[in-house]
Amino acid sequence: MNKLSAQLVNLYSTITAFIISAKKHVPKFIEGLKEMMGRAKGRVKEALALVLGEAETFMQILDDLEAKWILLGKRVGVAIEKLRMGVKLAKENVLVLIDKLRRIIENSSMLALELLGRGVYLRIKEEMRRILKNPNVVREDAELEATVREAEQLSELLQRSEKLQNEKANMMVE
C-alpha cells in the first residue's frame, strides 16, 4: 500500500474509533446525569440541566458525524483505488481528503472536550486507543454484552419458573 493511502486509512479508522467510543460512553454519561437530576434540587438541578443539554448537543453532533462518516468512507475507497490505478490528479484528491479528515478529527475531539468535559473526553480517548490497538476488541465486547444479556434473561426465566413451581407446590399442599 502507498504511504498516502495508508495515512488516509489510518485517519479514517481514527474517526471510526472516535465514533464507536463516543457512542459507548456518552449515553452512559447522559443516563448518569438524568439519575442525578432526579435526586437533585434547586440550583444543582439547574446546573445539571445545563450539562445535560450540552451532552445532548454532542449526541446530535455525533449523529452528523456518523452520517458524514459513511460518505467519507466511499470517498476514501474511491481515492485509494484511483491512486492505485494512477488516475490523473488522484494525489491531489487524496491530499485534500487527508486534510479534511484531519480537520474533522481535530474539531470533533475539541468539541468533545468543550461540551462533555475532561473526564468523558479522556475516557473516549482511552477507548479510542484501545480500539486502534486491536480492532477485534469491538466485536469481542459486543459478543460479551450479548452473552451477559442472554445470561440475565436466562436467570430471569429461572426465577420465574422457580416461583411458578413454588406456587404449584403451595397449591398442592393446600
Partner 1 sequence: MEREDLLKMHSELMGEDVWEFHSLEKGGVKRSLSILLRGRYAGVKYPISDRLAVLATIAAGLLFLLSVGSLAVTFLRSRMDLGIILVVDRAVGDLVLGLLGFIYSAGIFLIDNPAFGAVLGILLLVWLARR
Going by C-beta distance under 8 Å and a sequence separation of 6 or more, which residues neighbour residue 82?
90, 93
Name which of 114 and 143 has its Cβ closer to partner 1: 114
Name which of 107 and 161 has its Cβ closer to partner 1: 107
**CB neighbourhood size of 31 (10 A):** 10
Three-class DSSP category at 2: coil
Min. distance of Cβ 89 from partner 1 in angstroms?
5
Contact between residue 102 and residue 12 where contact means Cβ atoms under 8 Å apart = no
Q: By CB under 8 A, which span of 8-16, 97-105, 125-133, 136-144 interacts with partner 1?
A: 97-105
Candidate list 15, 26, 80, 104; residue touching partner 1; CB under 8 A: 104
Residue 98 contacts partner 1 per CB under 8 A? no
Question: What residues numbered 110-139 form the site for partner 1, per CB under 8 A?
Answer: 110-111, 114-115
* Nearest residue to 14 via CA among 102, 140, 139, 74: 102
Min. distance of Cβ 31 from partner 1 in angstroms?
24
